[in-house]
Amino acid sequence: MGVKGYLRLQQANGGISVLNFSNGLRQPAQLEALNLTSHLNDPFPQPRFKEQTLRIFLVRHGETDWNREGRFQGQMDVPLNENGRAQAATVAEFLKEVTFHHALSSPLLRPKETALAILQYHPDVTLELEPALVEIRHGDWEGKFEPEVEAAYPGELERWRTTPALVQMPNGENLEQVRDRVVKAWEEWLKRWKTNTPTPHNVLVVAHDATNKVLLCHIVGLGIENFWLFKQGNGSVTVIDYPLTGGLPRLQAVNITTHLGGVLDRTAAGAL
């Protein structure tokens, strides 16, 4: 991330971060969680830029049956399952005391249901829908389990796990296409949120695994080849601070799932 990367990651006193080294200490790690502070009676780290902060709460939708089964869903409009609705209710309680000024969601059922559950406690906030935030289009992989994908496209799953930026989903998208549409929409919404807004200013955004991950790569200045660096569990909360006076954004916390039980992410968080 270079020297500027130092400014993009927050570490509160007593904050807990979790790194997964699945391929050995010499290989890149997955950031399962960054800067958890719930155990300090502070559910979210304090705003880095005090009253001059645009704070975004980035949420991944609750669980679906396809998440639980490990089935690729992509842009298939799969609703939350019973556990996903419970996760949505729990994250809604977790965010109950936050004063939101705007709310944005992918239009697919699973994030929309999650967002509406959260906004039950914020009746004055209107949910806006952004088509560019929909999940990656898996094309011919959608509806399939991993063994079925491997049988039809030998070796492509391993490429997706190791070099995701080089994979073109058959009759679907690649990560560059996802990044282009997501980042363009994100930057346009940032301009709106930063214009004529109260301070501090809080925004709720509910989207998907892949869209959240490409956004996080963009926010910290990394290329999409680092897609697997960030974990996004079902019902997780990620906190991003933007200084309203200009300057680099800061990841305050990533993949908070303590409201779902424990420090470690135990959500399905399987297929996209």
Give me the sign of the Cα torsion angle 194, 198, 200, 203: negative
Asked if the model's pLDDT at residue 143 lies above 70, the reply is yes
Asked if the model's pLDDT at residue 27 lies above 70, the reply is yes
60 phi, psi to nearest 5 deg: -95, 145
DSSP 8-state assignment for residue 134: S
Give exposure, 156-181, as e/b (b: 16+ Cβ within 10 Å). beeebeeebeebebeebbbbeebbeb
Which pTM does this prediction carry? Answer: 0.96
Contact 251, 220 (CB under 8 A): yes
Pick the closest to residue 215 from 242, 263, 244, 179 (CA basis).
Answer: 179
- Establish if 160 belongs to a structural domain: no
CATH label of the domain that carries residue 90: 3.40.50.1240
- Establish if 233 belongs to a structural domain: yes
**Edge-to-edge strands of the sheet including 237-243?**
16-20, 30-36, 250-256, 237-243, 53-60, 201-207, 102-105, 127-129
Asked if the model's pLDDT at residue 170 lies above 90, the reply is yes
| Interatomic CA distance for residues 88 and 104, integer angstroms | 15
Asked if the model's pLDDT at residue 121 lies above 70, the reply is yes
Pick the closest to residue 236 from 14, 12, 8, 18 (CA basis).
Answer: 18
pLDDT, tens digit, 9 for 90 and up, residues 219-258: 999 999 999 999 999 999 999 999 988 889 999 999 999 9
Contact 55, 239 (CB under 8 A): yes
- Establish if 162 belongs to a structural domain: no
- Establish if 58 belongs to a structural domain: yes
The total domain count for the chain is 1
pLDDT, tens digit, 9 for 90 and up, residues 53-75: 999 999 999 999 999 999 999 99
Burial zone of 93 (CB within 10 Å; 0-12 exposed, 13-18 middle, 19+ buried): middle
pLDDT score at 176 = 97
Q: Which residues are catalytic?
A: 61, 208
Pick the closest to residue 19 from 10, 29, 28, 9 (CA basis).
Answer: 29
Stretch (H or E) spanning 203: strand 201-207
- Establish if 105 belongs to a structural domain: yes
Range of the domain at 226: 9-21+28-138+173-260
pLDDT score at 270 = 56
* DSSP state string for 205-244: EEE-HHHHHHHHHHHHT--GGGGGGB---TT-EEEEEEET
- Establish if 223 belongs to a structural domain: yes
Contact 195, 163 (CB under 8 A): no
pLDDT category at 271 given cuts 50, 70, 90 is: low
- Establish if 266 belongs to a structural domain: no
DSSP 8-state assignment for residue 78: P
- Establish if 143 belongs to a structural domain: no
